[in-house]
Structure 1
């Protein structure tokens, strides 16, 4: 699985990097996963919401990506001031049904603004649930799995929860997920909702 973690100016560093870290650890332990930090426009550098600069980023590639992971950040500003939601919709159209879309915490709002959640269940960061309801059927669960859409809404640890869920369920490696849990000192918990 090539898992492209979308980076953009204003991204919540922890959300994106915790998921990336879990998947990178899984790769080191033998899982068939390749996490890659990418940008939509090919810029090699972005700045996170707390001022952290990330460099050496690749351009996303719809022909190669198996999963697109989108973290939250200063989402309302991003939604209102950037072309990112339109680019997300275009990327999904190019990649087709095989692409697994993953919203990390308030990253689900970007999928909503892109028109990718209409009539679908999703979760997000609790303070953003009312906003998410503009587009999606909001489910108050830690993980919501709706086939080609998986969202995680557990707050600051959403990135860990999503990464561990992907390792256990999508990579079919639950024992490896437990090994990573022990290594990082975080146990999965909370409700997983599936259609």
Structure 2
């Protein structure tokens, strides 16, 4: 069912995010009927992703209009956001009036730090999934998880699945299926190693060891955020 007025969708664009967490959903949402997308940050200066891609915000916290959908991507910069009171306050303010409050990858930890996932089922990147419980959420190891008006996607590439799920909910499955066809989103990965459930033991062990130092840094930020929520 098409909306009579444009659907306002806001994606948080912050330093050191993982760009595909944002650009995957952006690609899907921008193709949906009658949408208006906003890339939101504190100012309008270029923002660099964790891999160096520069992107331009289109609006600021102060200038952001009311949103129908709020989406928070993830990435290494998520750690700093969990203790950024200006950002957390903005997310709480936008979430109060949004129809859907959503995230991709470790963006769910930012929602959690803002107190927006307490009592909700949610997912995140496999390396951070367990940390959701520290913030009052119920971790679910699925690619897309919906609980009431909270929709969360797992790691990075899950953003496409997440966004198509949102479009199907809002516009119907036929619209979402048509978008998927136009995008030729027909995954056939060369290796069956995209999940801890399927990756060989040696690869899974090496991947966990590689991210262990940063995972611990993220966990400490999550623990601090959890303490603030208790207060």
* TM-score, reference length from structure 2: 0.70
| Structure 1 equivalent of residue 71 of structure 2 | 69
8 Å CA contact 2:168, 2:175 repeated in 1: yes
In terms of Rg, which structure is larger? 2
Instruction: Give the secondary structure class of the aligned counterpart of 2:10.
Output: strand
Counting only pairs closer than 5 Å after superposition, residues 1-195 of structure 1 correspond to structure 2 as 1-26=7-32, 31-39=33-41, 41-60=42-61, 63-74=65-76, 75-80=78-83, 83-92=86-95, 96-135=96-135, 136-153=137-154, 155-169=155-169, 171-187=170-186
Paired residues in the alignment total 178
Give structure 1 stretches of 5+ with no counterpart: 189-195
Shift in alpha-carbon separation, 1:147–1:44, aligned structure 2, 3 A: farther
8 Å CA contact 2:68, 2:97 repeated in 1: no
The structure showing larger relative contact order (alpha-carbon pairs under 8 Å, at least 6 residues apart) is 1
Q: Deviations over 1:149-194 (max 9, x none)?
A: 11011x231221111111111x223112112212222259xxxxxx
RMSD: 2.1
Shift in alpha-carbon separation, 1:59–1:181, aligned structure 2, 3 A: same
Q: Deviations over 1:113-133 (max 9, x none)?
A: 111111211111111111112
In structure 2, C-alpha distance between the alignment counterparts of 1:58 and 1:148, rounded to whole Å: 24
1:80 Cα offset (Å): 4.1
8 Å CA contact 1:101, 1:148 repeated in 2: yes
With 178-187 and 77-86 compared, the bigger mean Cα shift is at 77-86
1:83 Cα offset (Å): 4.1
Give structure 2 stretches of 5+ with no counterpart: 1-6, 188-231
* TM-score, reference length from structure 1: 0.82
Instruction: Give the secondary structure class of the aligned counterpart of 1:76.
Output: helix
1:57 Cα offset (Å): 2.2
Shift in alpha-carbon separation, 1:140–1:131, aligned structure 2, 3 A: same
1:89 Cα offset (Å): 2.1
8 Å CA contact 1:97, 1:148 repeated in 2: no
With 144-153 and 97-106 compared, the bigger mean Cα shift is at 97-106
In structure 2, C-alpha distance between the alignment counterparts of 1:45 and 1:82, rounded to whole Å: 21
